[in-house]
Amino acid sequence: MNFSSRYLKRLRKRAAESQKRQYPGDYVYTFVEGGEEFDYGVDYVECASCKFLSEQGAPELAPCLCVIDVLYSEKFGWGLVRTMTLAEGYEKCDFRFKKGGVTRVKVPEFMRWLYGPIES
């Protein structure tokens, strides 16, 4: 589903709409056209989860949520590669998807007991 033309068309549209910042607590992101390295990408510059956790006084929990993407990628064959997240203090989250590809997501040190060394 995440690689269908219908899904990608809708994702492009929602990315453009997110740039309006109509809802302050929402995500803001851009769609990244793929190539040989990946099928498509998404760059998040604002994260609803990070915003919520900050409002609750618990921004340190955000990296724990980001790691869940590893499970989804492995289960659904997303081939997610991500080198940075807003939760880690970077300027964006750089999601890159390759259907059936290998998941390569940096797992925070304090979470490795659960996931092991997934990054490569």
pLDDT band at 120 (very low <50, low <70, confident <90, very high): very low
**What was the pLDDT predicted at 8?**
96
Please write the tens of the pLDDT for every residue from 25-52. 999 999 999 999 999 999 999 999 999 9
Number of domains in the chain: 1
Task: Supply the range of the domain harboring residue 35.
Answer: 5-107
Examine residue 86 and state whether it is found in any structural domain, yes or no. Answer: yes
Q: How far apart are CA 63 and CA 55, in angstroms?
A: 16
Structure-token match 């990296």, residue found: 63
Examine residue 63 and state whether it is found in any structural domain, yes or no. Answer: yes
Examine residue 78 and state whether it is found in any structural domain, yes or no. Answer: yes
Please write the tens of the pLDDT for every residue from 69-106. 988 999 999 999 999 999 999 999 999 999 999 999 98
Examine residue 113 and state whether it is found in any structural domain, yes or no. Answer: no
Examine residue 74 and state whether it is found in any structural domain, yes or no. Answer: yes
